Chain A
Amino acid sequence: MNKSIFNLQFSIFNQKEKGQALIVVILTLLVVSVVVLAAASRSITDVKLSQTSEESARAFSAAEAGVEEAAEKIRAGTIIIGADNNVTLPNNANTSYVVSKQGSSNLAFLSSTPLAGDTDDFQTYLANKDDFSGSYTGAICLLWGNSGTPSDSQTPAVSAVILYKNPSSVTRRQFVIDSAASARNNFTPANNDASCLKQVLALENNLTIDRTFAFAHKMDIPVVDGYSPVLLRIRLLFNKDTAHYVGIKPVSGALPSQGYKISSIGSSGQTARKVDVFQSYPSLPAVFDFALFNDSGTLSK
C-alpha cells in the first residue's frame, strides 16, 4: 500500500520534473531569441544609420558641387539668373541650384573676413551693379577695427574711395578717416557719431552674427554736381599685424544688392541637403586704387 502510494507519488513527481525541463528549455530559447533579435535589430539600425550618414554626406557634397559650378559660371559670366540647373552626379546623387541676385537691404553689410594689412579691399555697391541706377544717396556709417583696438601708431585709419557716375563719365572722391587719438597727416578724425552704433546685432547685418567695432564714422554721400555714387571701396591704412573687420551700415534706406545668392540642393537616396551661399559681386585688387604705384626703390625725377 505504502509502496504503491510511493510509486504513485514518484510517478507524479517524475512527470512534474519533465514539465520543468521543458519550461527551462523554452525559457532558454526565449532568452536566446531575444538576444539574437536585439543584436540583429541593432545591426540593422547601424546599417541604416550608416546608410543615412553616407547619403547625407553625399547629398551635402552634391549641394556643394552645385555651389562650385554656379560660382564658376558667375566668374565666367555664363550664369543665367533665376534658371534651374540640374546636374546628375555619380553614386545616385544629383544637385539642383538656382542663382539669384540678393535683394537690396537695410541691413549692415559686413566683411565676412577681416582685412589684413593695408592691401585688402572691401567693396560696397552704392547702385545697381548692372546699370548703376538706383544709387543710395543717404548717410552711411563706416565701421572698422576689432573691438578693443588701442589708439597708437598702428591704429588703422580708413581710406574710403567713392566712385560717382553720370550718364557719360565717372569721377572719384577720396576720404581718409583717422581713428587715432589725434588725426594724423591732416586726415579727418573719426566722428564716432551717436547714430552709428558700434555694436551690430545679428539681426542687423548680412552675416547674422553679433559684431562690435572699435571705430565709427558717419558720412553723407549725396549726389554731387549730377554725379551719383555707385561704388565704395574701403582699405585700411597704418595697419600692420592685426586683421580688422569692417562694415557699412545705411543710416536710412537700403543698400542695393551686393552679390549673388546661390541656393543649391543636393540629394542622394532619400536624403537632401540645402546650401545657401552668398557671393559678393566682383572686386578689383587694391592696386587699382592707385594712380601711381612704385613698388621698388625711390621714386625720383
Chain B
Amino acid sequence: MTRKSLLITVCLLLFLFLSRGITYADPTTDTTTDINIDLTGGNPGTTASGDQGSLLEWGMVQQTNETQVWGRLEDGTWGPTGQTGTITYNQSQPQPGGGYFRDVNGNLTQDPNQDAQQGILTEAGYVSNNTSQEWIDRINNASSRGAAIHAAALCGCWRSVFGDDGDGDGSPPIPTPTPTPTPIPPAGNWLKVSGGTVFSRGAINMSVAPPSGQFNSTSLVLSGGSISNFTSSANWLVPNYFSSDSIPDFDNFVKSLLSKSGVERYEGSRSLSSLGSLDNQKKAVIIEGDMVIDTNFTPANASTAFIVKNKINISPSVSQVNAILLSWGGIDTAVSSTRLTVNGMLLSYGHITLGRTSSDPNSPAETVNYEPRLLLDMIDILTIVNIKYKIVNRL
C-alpha cells in the first residue's frame, strides 16, 4: 500500500467516523421550533450572577454523550451555564461544509463563512457531530461574536457551521481577520407607546429611532437616566427624573383585593392557556408565581388585569395581548421576529426586557397602546386607596 492510498484510507475512515449517526435533512426546510433547556442548576465555571439576562450569547453544545448549555457572559467568559431558558433553533441539518443561519430579517441562508457575519445573526443552524471545544474555540476567535443577538443552537460541529476549508484535515478555514462589522439593528426594532406615560427607573436607551414622522411616545416620558433614540410627539421628555416611587408589597396589595368580587387567585405559576375563558368578564387574575403568556389574548367583551407575583414571560409566538400586565418580578417579551402589541398596560416593578424584532421600519417591534377603558372598568376591583374624613356630632 502506497503512502497516498494509506492517506486516502485514513481520510475515508476519519470521514466515516465523523459522519456517524448523522441524519441529514433537507436544509431548505424551515422547521423552526423551540427547545426547552433546564438552566436552573446554578452557574458552574462562570462568574455571572445567574440569570439569562447576563448572557450575551448562549447555545447548546452536544458532545458524544451529553448535552450542555453554554453561554457567553458579560465578562466575556464562556462556559457551561447550568441555567434555564428556551432557545429557538432550526432543525434543518445542513450538509457538511456549510452553515445555515437565520438572520434578523428571518431569512435562512447558507454560507460557509458566516463567522464574519455572526454579529447580525439571530439564530444559527442546527448542526451535529463535532467536538464542542473546537466550536467554542472558534466562537472565541470570531471577531464579532460579542454582538450576536441570539443564541446559537448547536449540536457540536463548528466544521459544519463554518465550513470545511477542504485541506483534508477536516478543520475549518483559518479565519481571515476582518474589520469588526458594526451590527446594524433592523429598522423596525423600535418601541411604540401610545396614550400613556412611560416611566423607566434607569435610562431609556434604544438602538433604533422611529422613522421620520413617527414617535416612540405620544405622552409624558420619565427616565431616571439619559434618553436616547426615544421621542415624544408631545415633546415631554424628562431625563434624570427622580421618582419617590417605592415598590408596594405584593402580599398587602393582594390582601386588599381578595374579598372583592371579580378577583380570581391562583397559587403557584400558571400559563395563560390553563386559565380558561375570560370572555364577558371584568376580572383581576392574581397569580402568586410566574406567568407564561403562551397564546394570544383577545377576550371578547372583557376587561382583564393580570397581577403576577414573579415574572411574566410572553412566548415568542404571541403577537397580541389585550390586558393590564402588572408584575413584581419583571416582564420578558422574548426574542422573536413576531411583532407584539399590548392593548392595555405593561407595568413591572422589576425589569422589562424587550426582545422582539421587526425589519419593517413602519411596524415597530413592540407596541403598547394604553387602554383607558380598562382603568374605568377596574376602578371598583383594583382599588386600594380611599380618602376618609369625619365629623363628630354629639346628640
Q: Which of A113, A171, A291 contacts B219, CB < 8 Å? A: A291
Find chain B residues with CB under 8 A from A185 CB.
235-238
Q: Most chain-A Cβ atoms within 10 A of its Cβ — which of B199, B205, B222, B366?
A: B199
CA distance A18 to B350 in the complex (A): 104
Judge if B201 is at the interface, Cβ distance under 8 Å.
yes
Interface residues of B in 379-395 (CB under 8 A from A): 379-380, 382-395
B373 touches A294 (CB 8 A): no
Find chain B residues with CB under 8 A from A170 CB.
371-373, 375-376
Judge if A176 is at the interface, Cβ distance under 8 Å.
yes
Interface with B: A22-30, A33-41, A190-198, A281-289, which one? A281-289
Q: Known contacts being A276-B393, A284-B383, is A293 close to B202, with CB within 8 Å?
A: no
Q: Most chain-B Cβ atoms within 10 A of its Cβ — which of A165, A237, A300?
A: A300
Q: Which of A121, A280, A292 contacts B346, CB < 8 Å? A: A292
Judge if B118 is at the interface, Cβ distance under 8 Å.
no
How many whole Å from A38's CB to the nearest CB in chain B? 30
Q: Nearest residue in A to B243 (C-beta to C-beta)?
A: A118
Q: Nearest residue in B to A265 (C-beta to C-beta)?
A: B395
Interface residues of A in 169-188 (CB under 8 A from B): 169-172, 174, 176, 184-187
Judge if A211 is at the interface, Cβ distance under 8 Å.
no
CA distance A283 to B379 in the complex (A): 6
Q: Which of A60, A276, A280, A298 contacts B225, CB < 8 Å? A: A298
Chain A-chain B contacts (Cβ-Cβ < 8 Å), number = 230
CA distance A290 to B198 in the complex (A): 6
Find chain A residues with CB under 8 A from B382 CB.
284-285, 288
Q: Which of B203, B324, B372 contacts A172, CB < 8 Å? A: B372
Q: Nearest residue in B to A285 (C-beta to C-beta)?
A: B384
Judge if B265 is at the interface, Cβ distance under 8 Å.
no
Contact residues on A (Cβ < 8 Å of other chain), bracket:
35 or more
Q: Known contacts being A279-B387, A295-B350, A296-B350, is A290 close to B197, with CB within 8 Å?
A: yes
Find chain A residues with CB under 8 A from B348 CB.
293-296
A276 touches B198 (CB 8 A): no
Interface with A: B90-98, B135-143, B157-165, B185-193, which one? B185-193
Q: Nearest residue in A to B229 (C-beta to C-beta)?
A: A301
Judge if B22 is at the interface, Cβ distance under 8 Å.
no
Q: Most chain-B Cβ atoms within 10 A of its Cβ — which of A159, A171, A296?
A: A296
Q: Which of B189, B248, B261, B393 contacts A285, CB < 8 Å? A: B248
CA distance A170 to B243 in the complex (A): 28
Find chain B residues with CB under 8 A from A77 CB.
260-261, 380
CA distance A176 to B242 in the complex (A): 17
Q: Nearest residue in A to B245 (C-beta to C-beta)?
A: A119
How many whole Å from A118's CB to the nearest CB in chain B? 6
Interface residues of B in 148-206 (CB under 8 A from A): 189-191, 193-206
Judge if A207 is at the interface, Cβ distance under 8 Å.
yes
Find chain B residues with CB under 8 A from A12 CB.
none
Q: Which of B196, B200, B386 contacts A289, CB < 8 Å? A: B196
Interface residues of A in 108-164 (CB under 8 A from B): 111-113, 116-119, 121, 132, 159, 163
B201 touches A301 (CB 8 A): no
A296 touches B330 (CB 8 A): yes
Q: Which of A112, A132, A159, A299 contacts B204, CB < 8 Å? A: A299
B352 touches A299 (CB 8 A): yes
B351 touches A296 (CB 8 A): yes
CA distance A132 to B383 in the complex (A): 18
Q: Known contacts being A119-B243, A283-B383, A293-B199, is A67 close to B390, with CB within 8 Å?
A: yes
Q: Which of A75, A259, A278, A294 contacts B351, CB < 8 Å? A: A294
Q: Known contacts being A119-B244, A285-B384, is A301 close to B207, with CB within 8 Å?
A: yes
Q: Known contacts being A301-B191, A301-B365, is A274 close to B393, with CB within 8 Å?
A: yes
Q: Nearest residue in A to B373 (C-beta to C-beta)?
A: A170
Judge if A99 is at the interface, Cβ distance under 8 Å.
no
Judge if B302 is at the interface, Cβ distance under 8 Å.
no
Interface string of B73-100 (1 = CB under 8 A from A): 0000000000000000000000000000
CA distance A184 to B240 in the complex (A): 13
Find chain A residues with CB under 8 A from B391 CB.
275-277
CA distance A238 to B366 in the complex (A): 29
B387 touches A274 (CB 8 A): no
Judge if B285 is at the interface, Cβ distance under 8 Å.
no
Interface residues of A in 200-257 (CB under 8 A from B): 207, 230-231, 237-240
Judge if B1 is at the interface, Cβ distance under 8 Å.
no
CA distance A111 to B385 in the complex (A): 13
Please report B residues at the A interface, Cβ cutoff 8 Å: 189-191, 193-208, 219-220, 222-223, 225, 234-238, 241-248, 259-261, 324, 326, 330, 345-352, 354, 365-366, 368-373, 375-376, 378-380, 382-395
Please report A residues at the B interface, Cβ cutoff 8 Å: 60, 67, 71, 75-77, 111-113, 116-119, 121, 132, 159, 163, 165, 169-172, 174, 176, 184-187, 207, 230-231, 237-240, 259, 265, 272-285, 287-301
In order of increasing CB-CB distance, the 9 nearest A-B pairs are A291-B196, A117-B244, A282-B383, A291-B370, A299-B200, A298-B202, A170-B373, A280-B387, A293-B347
Interface CB pairs A-B, < 8 A, 22: A71-B386, A76-B261, A118-B243, A118-B245, A159-B220, A163-B372, A172-B195, A186-B235, A237-B222, A274-B392, A276-B390, A288-B345, A288-B347, A291-B197, A291-B370, A292-B193, A292-B199, A293-B347, A294-B348, A295-B201, A296-B351, A298-B203
Q: A282-B379, A292-B347, A295-B201 are in contact. List 20 more A-B contacts (CB 8 A).
A: A71-B388, A76-B261, A118-B243, A132-B376, A165-B376, A170-B371, A187-B236, A231-B376, A259-B387, A265-B395, A276-B391, A283-B386, A284-B382, A285-B382, A285-B385, A290-B197, A291-B345, A292-B368, A294-B351, A299-B352
